[in-house]
Amino acid sequence: MRIRAFIIALAVAAAVVAASPAYAQGKLNVVTSTEDLGSIAREVGGDKVSVTALAKGYQDPHFVEPKPSFILAVSRANLYIAIGRELEIGWLPPLLNSSRNAKIQPGANGYLDASQNVRILEIPTTQITRAMGDVHPSGNPHYWLEPGNGRRIAQAVRDKLSELSPANKAFFAQRYDDFDARLAAAEKRWDATMAPYKGTKIVTYHRSWPNFMERFGLEVMGYVEPKPGIPPSPSHTIELIADMKAQGAKLIVVEPYFDLKTPQAIANQVPGAKVVVLAPSVGGEKQVTDYLQLFDYDLNLLSTALKQVTGK
């Protein structure tokens, strides 16, 4: 049903594109898969770019609802920036194919896969089967939730924008340097906040957080989902409760688009345990309007919850 709706939306949008004027000249038109990439593109591009992010921060980026406005934006883009690692496999290929924009197809000069120069975790070393759940063959695509990878994304965006608009190369370099300096200062603040909790064991709902948790020294000892993308079962839930009690894990991290019923039921069975809902993307909460604020918001919530469950 969702695929059929997407095809209909693309067909409607394609007709509108054929009758629509091109974007005004002057700025590079950048379209990104997520608000995280959009925020970084704005940081580096400044007023030399116009940025449209497709997936909203409160949505699961694996499953994006089709809109005719998507194909309108993509058809006029000078640059498309994708998360990659098959995160958008269910919705991006038909969108790009229907855009009639040769400049931003994979492999073209106006297409940037932001995952190419970042640190990717959980790359499978065995053959992938459906029995393993929704495992990504190229590794975990939630890599943006680590500041060092955000820096690498910004470098790639700087280089690509400079390639597309050579006259503004110095401008993009200065914008990147400013972002890098602010990010480095923020990292010192974040590290100080999380230092007391290094080594603490926690549970997450989905495998969205490996880069984030590794960066800030937390150990993920289990998941609410028995396998990626598979809803929690009663038997797995019972096992997870027992494991949390045995290992002293008292915090469950959940994304805003998952049902809190099962995580809260698990927490209720583990003495002193809590559930905390973190924003997995820019825009996941109203106050999270840029990439640095994403970490400020999440680490404030996370450190407060960890202090409550650990007493540190």
The domain segmentation of the chain, as residue ranges, is 2-186, 191-310
In terms of Cα–Cα distance, which of 258, 292, 302, 289 is closest to 57?
Answer: 289
Task: Give the pLDDT score at 22.
Answer: 40
Task: Give the pLDDT score at 19.
Answer: 38
pLDDT in tens, the chain (312 residues): 444 554 445 554 444 444 343 444 589 999 999 999 999 999 999 999 999 999 999 999 999 987 889 999 999 999 999 999 999 999 999 999 999 999 999 999 999 999 999 999 999 887 766 656 566 688 999 999 999 999 999 999 999 999 999 999 999 999 999 999 999 999 999 999 999 999 999 999 999 999 999 999 999 999 999 998 899 999 999 999 999 999 999 999 999 999 999 999 999 999 999 999 999 999 999 999 999 999 999 999 999 999 999 998
Residue 209's H or E segment, with its range, is none
Q: Do domains 2-186 and 191-310 have the same CATH topology?
A: yes
What pTM does this model have? Answer: 0.90
241 vs 244: CA distance, rounded Å: 5
Q: How far is C-alpha 227 from the chain's CA centre?
A: 19
Contacting residues for 88 by C-beta, under 8 A, at least 6 apart? 33, 61, 62, 64, 82
CATH architecture label of 2-186: 3-Layer(aba) Sandwich (3.40)
Task: Give the pLDDT score at 126.
Answer: 76
Fold for domain 191-310? Rossmann fold (3.40.50)
| Measured torsion, CA atoms of residues 176, 178, 182, 188, in degrees rounded to the nearest 10 | 80
73 vs 17: CA distance, rounded Å: 9
312 vs 309: CA distance, rounded Å: 8
75 vs 22: CA distance, rounded Å: 9
**DSSP for residue 269:** H
Q: Residue type at 14?
A: A
Round the CA-based radius of gyration of the chain to a whole number and report it. Answer: 20
Per DSSP, which regions of 14-141 are E strands?
28-34, 49-55, 79-82, 111-113
Say how many C-beta atoms besides its own lie within 10 A of residue 80's C-beta.
Answer: 28
265 vs 224: CA distance, rounded Å: 11
